[in-house]
Amino acid sequence: MAINLNRSEAVIREKRLKSIIGYTGTVKDILEKTKSGCLKNRSRSFTQTTNCSSGCAQFYLSTITDAAVVNHAPIGCLSDAVGADVGYKWGQNMRNWEKKSINVINTNMSEETTVFGGRKILKAAIFEAYRRFKPKAIFVTTSCASAIIGDDIDSLVQEAEEEIGIPVVPVFCEGFRSQIWASGFDAAFQALLTRIIKPPVKKRPELVNLINFTASGSEIIKKIFDRLGLVPQFGIPFSSIDEISRMSEAAATISVCGTLGGYFGNALEQKYGVPYVTALQPHGIKGIEDWLRNLGSILNKEKEVEEYISEMQETIKPELSKLREKLKGKRAVVGMGPSFSHNYIRLLEEFGIDVVWGLSWHYDALHDHGGCPSCTLELEKSEKDVNISVNDQQNHELVNILRKYKPDIFIGRHPGQSVWAIKMGIPSIMVGDEYSAFGYEGTIEFGYRILDEITNSNLAKNLSKRITLPYTEWWLEQEEFTFLEREAK
């Protein structure tokens, strides 16, 4: 389905990518169902809390260095701004920048607002954001409350924009719009694509847009790209409105996360002809090689890429085989967003680790380029059929999976999950940094991190002796998918 940039709202993932949040089975089974068009979401009769798409959109846009976000919502909808602020400061620290907080204002919608409408407070908040932060653009994010009462955001932001003279851009990301919180990334990108990115003034054949979260790996990327005669433009976090507005001038777009970058990359290709590189994520050996080879073939850098690959393969060979010897046969459970989860399953299997279960928070049956996710297709090639589930961050399912499989390690990408494994005495790694296991050196480093965790598991063991899980014995004895709707025969 072509991405529609003539509207201010992004089409949600359930409709665009046939995404689901409930499933249990195997890699080969989910792909068979995907390809035959029979994949259906299985709903839950009980759910714990999960994330909402407005958090994703707000976090992502609030890290643009010279923009502001106005969240038109009750104050609780902005509670995850605390995490966004910590992440922003961490990124500033890494760059030796002066520390400042994210530029975010909430309209504090009350009962009265929900009865009489929120135009007045929203307009006041936009003016306040302009006065306080002097931004180059203001993004207005919506909430369930603003959508339910039907505030006409489009017309109001237009009025405000005419008065203050900078882009005031609506971002339609209310939580009830989509069950998939990654839809919030698409909502943020829709705002950038429709209102911030300008047509190219001149094409820059050396420039590559690199869509990521923190750009913590910027030094290694610059080093590799320099060898290829390329220059990365990291985004969207820690870039400016001006830098983002010129992303149409790049020679290609690539991402470290398929779930994150696909919408932006494909839309930029569609609108401005900037090719989007579809590849495995650059984690693990197969990942980095596929990522670089696909980039190289689009930009005619095949020779330089092959030289780099053969040099690095030689460099890491001894360490990699040492690690494989030590990690072979260890058992792991993985729990991450869909692209990270299926890419990390591959990475762990490259070390000879047996992944006994892979959870992903949702699953996109398609990607915006039209095919199935390449990371899942890559797993399908293996003789082994990995057990997987689509879990929507449901900790009660995770806890019973961990109890059942008793892995040597749990690898997660969200602190709200990894902590449960540790409480159960299972060593755990929280991959908060998207450049963990990036490329050759990162893969080796990550292998040693796993080895350290497995060989020194005292923290997890000691914690588990002192912690009582909040789940009852009744639940702990249940089959892990008791609350998941049965599959139709």
Between 175 and 447, CB nearer to ligand SF4: 175
Stretch that binds ligand SF4, among 105-113, 171-179, 207-215, 237-245 (CB under 6 A): 171-179
d(CA 437, CA 435): 6
Contact pattern from residue 76 through residue 115 relative to ligand SF4, giving x for each residue in contact according to CB under 6 A and a dash for the rest: -x--------------------------------------
d(CA 206, CA 404): 51
Question: Binding of ligand SF4 at residue 408 (CB under 6 A)?
Answer: no
Which one among 87, 175, 262, 412 touches ligand SF4, defined by CB under 6 A? 175
Question: Binding of ligand SF4 at residue 122 (CB under 6 A)?
Answer: no
Which one among 144, 166, 451, 469 touches ligand SF4, defined by CB under 6 A? 144
How many residues bind ligand SF4 (CB under 6 A)? The answer is 9
Which one among 9, 14, 151, 174 touches ligand SF4, defined by CB under 6 A? 174
Question: Binding of ligand SF4 at residue 54 (CB under 6 A)?
Answer: yes
Measured from each CB, the residue nearest to ligand SF4 is 175
Write the DSSP string, 8-69: SSPPPHHHHT--BS-EEEEHHHHHHHHHTT------BSS------HHHHHHHHHHTSTTEEE
Stretch that binds ligand SF4, among 17-25, 168-176, 193-201, 258-266 (CB under 6 A): 168-176
Phi, psi values for residue 255, rounded to 5°: -135, 155
d(CA 266, CA 39): 24
d(CA 252, CA 291): 13
CB of 261 to ligand SF4, least distance (A): 23
136-166 in b/e form (b: 16+ CB < 10 A) is bbbbbbbbbbbbeeebebeebbeebbeebeb
Question: Binding of ligand SF4 at residue 377 (CB under 6 A)?
Answer: no
Contact pattern from residue 13 through residue 52 relative to ligand SF4, giving x for each residue in contact according to CB under 6 A and a dash for the rest: ---------------------------------------x
List Cβ neighbours of 71 (8 Å cut-off, separation of 6 or more).
54, 58, 77, 78, 81, 104, 105, 106, 107, 141, 143
- Judged by the rule CB under 6 A, the positions of this chain that interact with ligand SF4 are 52, 54, 73, 77, 143-144, 174-176
